[in-house]
Amino acid sequence: MLLFDQLNKGDRTLRMVAWSVLGGLLVLAVQLARLQVVSAEKYRATLQTQTFKTVRIPALRGKILARDGRELVGNSPRFRLDLYLDELRPQFQAEYTRLKREALAIRRAAMHEDPTAGWSRFLALFHRNRSTPHLNATEIDALQKLARFLVVSNSVASVNSRLGTQLAVSPAELERHYIAKRFMPLPILPNCTPTQVALVTEQSWSQPGIALEQVAVRNYPHGMLASHLLGHLRRNDTFDEEEGAFDYRLPDYKGAIGLEKAFDRDLRGVAGVKSILVNSAGYRHRQAEETLEPAHAGRNLVTTIDLDLQREVERALNTVKGGDERGAVVVMEPQTGDVLAMASAPSFDPGEWIDTISVQRYQSFHLKEPERPMFNRASYGEYAPGSIFKIFHTLALLENGLDPAEIYTVEPNPKKPGKGVYFLGKRPIEDTAPPGLYDLRRAFIHSSNSYFINYGLRLGWEKLLSMGRRFGLGDPTGIRIGEEKSGFLPTLEDVQHSSLTAGNLANVSIGQEITVTPLQMAVGLSAVANGGRVFWPRVVQRIESDGPLAEEPPTTVKPGQVRNQVVLPAASWDFVRSAMRDDVADPAGTGTAARVKDFAVCGKTGTAEIKGNGRKDKVTWFASFAPYEAPRYVVIVMVESGGSGGGTCAPVARQVYQFIHDREQGLHRGLASK
């Protein structure tokens, strides 16, 4: 009432304010009516031509760490130069208009029409279909494609001139992107160098459509180190039903081999989702992007790998044949079954798989024979064990009552003076040991084939094979790295239902006609070193989320899980372990090249012949543990096409043990934490 009283009194200022307020309300009312009534149909049609696209955002992949927490595999930032087609729409339209004008001019000239003649243009209004040139739908589509390609090519050419690159976008690549995902960026330079990033940043480009994006890519900081164990990634363009369907997926990867594959679900995390509003032409509205669900980073793997030891193992293996070796080394902790190092040679660079590998590179390097660098010889390679099988053969003989002091006479080989021979009927089986009298210890350190064939034939199939089976030979070890073979050890059923003869048994007695993997031998020899516990090997200690504030508790892989317990008299274990010590310490032994001062290495050499398909080759071995008094390390070395187990593989083991001994003595930086 007070307000109206003031107005009635003729307060001029108040009246002006009142009229201003009323005028503003009237303007608002008119505008509201225009939006809701006059333009309602227009906005309704606009909404009908727009749609939301869901985009899958890959999560940051978890790391793979060494036992002491140092990074074996991680992620690093990479700068990518992208081209956004939606920002080039004005240029597309302008270029299309220019091309259309030129095309019509050419067509008019072909019709002998003077485009400057006003009378002709006037007549064309009444005879358009017959006398005025025009473009059909196919021609219009072709000109639009050409316009887009020319605009994009000019943009890329501008990038080339500024960065000194030779980038190019093919018409087919451009059209695929334009049709399916024009609302997303088109990568034109996937990996910018620091210099290129600096040029783009310093020059403050104002070129439409060009943007510098930072993305995370897999990083292998140690290059080819442990590449077969760690594995590599490959592009993943498949949909995961558990994640739901998406209109588009940003580039993502999945584990192809190794730990990257075996623990892919833990490492890859949970993808995020964002929504993009796209108009009827397929272009995005930048103001209408919304993250519906953020991505959750993958979990980290903490492995049992000793990084320094792994590096030394690969360095030692690389000394064979001057780096042109084909072989494997496995180092295991015999009291727990933890894998401390696993190497296969030749190796490969897992980082190379992040970008596209050419067909030529793949065929000339990755599939090259006999190198086969992608082949994990440590767990996937099946090889005849040769004389290292005599370790288990010896235990079988002792278990079945052989007196170690019993003497056997090795006959001289008439064709090879100074060497022995065993005659199976009329078939001679050569022996690398000299002729003479042998008890079990001497036969072991001289690796006498004649001795073990003679007693293997007495022992028989069942007793010999069952001992090997008890140590896990012929079965996968169960290690979680994705690629593993089981080797071959005949079963009794195989023997009973086949034509295996005494000749086959003689060959098996000395490690021929059967196959094992280096990893299997590491598991089996660990049981010899620890007194009979056959472990499930462990290569991952725990799986944990990154950061101290992570809510999800770590998942621990229990150490020292026993798969089987081989029960034998203590005297049998002592005999084999001391015989292996003597094979290295005794000057007559075959493993003397593995000696390390003040560090008692126990070992057994082996050389197996490979024949078939017109090929003759050798597989050489050195199976060992140390120190003798309290075994803490098992080292298995296998080299293809080597000279002998003692000459080729034992020196590799010696380098590994020397590093271990020096480190324990403080000559290297301290032991990695366990």
Helix (H, G, I), strand (E, B) or coil at 551: coil
User: Cα separations (Å) of 14 from 25, 239, 475?
Assistant: 17, 69, 99
Instruction: Please check whether residue 201 is in contact with residue 212, taking contact to mean a CB–CB distance below 8 angstroms.
Output: yes
- 304 CA to centre of own chain: 18
Residue 626, pLDDT score: 97
Helix (H) / strand (E) containing 657: helix 650-664
Residue 347, pLDDT score: 93
**CATH number of the domain that residue 412 is part of:** 3.40.710.10
Give domain status of residue 618, yes or no: yes
Identify whether residues 425 and 572 lie together within a single domain. Answer: yes
| pLDDT band of 495, cuts 50, 70, 90 | confident
Task: Rounding to the nearest 10 degrees, give the CA dihedral for residues 368, 636, 351, 325.
Answer: -40
Task: Please state whether 98 falls in left (phi above 0), alpha (psi between -120 and 50) or beta.
Answer: alpha
Give domain status of residue 359, yes or no: no
Residue 42: pLDDT over 60: no
Give domain status of residue 671, yes or no: no
**CA nearest to 187, candidates 289, 282, 84:** 84
Residue 236, pLDDT score: 77
Digit-coded pLDDT (tens) for 267-289: 988 888 877 776 555 455 555 66
Instruction: Please check whether residue 366 is in contact with residue 469, taking contact to mean a CB–CB distance below 8 angstroms.
Output: no
Identify whether residues 408 and 263 lie together within a single domain. Answer: no
From start to end of 251-311, where are the E strands?
253-255, 272-278, 284-293, 300-303
Identify whether residues 157 and 181 lie together within a single domain. Answer: yes
- Find the range with the poorest average confidence among 72-76, 357-361, 476-480, 506-510: 357-361
Digit-coded pLDDT (tens) for 576-586: 999 999 999 99
Mean pLDDT of the chain: 85
Residue 367, pLDDT score: 78
Identify whether residues 162 and 186 lie together within a single domain. Answer: yes
What is the C-alpha R_g of the chain? Answer: 38
Identify whether residues 600 and 525 lie together within a single domain. Answer: yes
From start to end of 363-407, where are the E strands?
none
Digit-coded pLDDT (tens) for 185-227: 888 888 888 888 888 877 666 677 888 888 888 999 999 999 9
Give domain status of residue 61, yes or no: yes
Q: What is the pTM of this model?
A: 0.82
**CATH number of the domain that residue 110 is part of:** 3.90.1310.10
Identify whether residues 79 and 169 lie together within a single domain. Answer: yes
Q: What is the mean pLDDT of residues 599-607?
A: 97
| pLDDT band of 57, cuts 50, 70, 90 | confident
Q: How far is the C-alpha of 569 from the C-alpha of 618, rounded, in Å?
A: 35
Instruction: Please check whether residue 532 is in contact with residue 565, taking contact to mean a CB–CB distance below 8 angstroms.
Output: yes
From start to end of 167-266, where are the E strands?
186-189, 210-219, 233-235, 248-249, 253-255
Residue 401, pLDDT score: 94
Beta strands 427-430 and 420-424: pairing type? antiparallel
Residue 58: pLDDT over 90: no
Q: At what angle do helices 89-110 and 137-163 cross, to 10 degrees?
A: 130
Residue 125, pLDDT score: 46
Helix (H, G, I), strand (E, B) or coil at 383: strand
Give domain status of residue 200, yes or no: yes
Number of other residues whose CB lies within 10 A of the CB of residue 396: 23
Q: How many CA atoms lie within 13 A of 255 on its CB side?
A: 27
> What's the per-residue H, E or C state across 528-577?
HHHCCEEECCECEEEEECCCCCCCCCCEECCCCCEEEECCCCHHHHHHHH
Residue 563, pLDDT score: 96
Residue 671: pLDDT over 50: no
Identify whether residues 342 and 275 lie together within a single domain. Answer: no
Residue percentage of the chain with pLDDT more than 70: 84
Question: What is the domain count for the chain?
Answer: 2
Identify whether residues 281 and 417 lie together within a single domain. Answer: no
| Domain that includes residue 141, residue range | 54-301
Give domain status of residue 586, yes or no: yes
Identify whether residues 184 and 288 lie together within a single domain. Answer: yes
Give domain status of residue 368, yes or no: no
Number of other residues whose CB lies within 10 A of the CB of residue 460: 13
**Of 121-125, 132-136, 300-304, which has the strongest mean pLDDT?**
300-304
Identify whether residues 398 and 454 lie together within a single domain. Answer: yes
Q: How far is the C-alpha of 114 from the C-alpha of 103, rounded, in Å?
A: 15
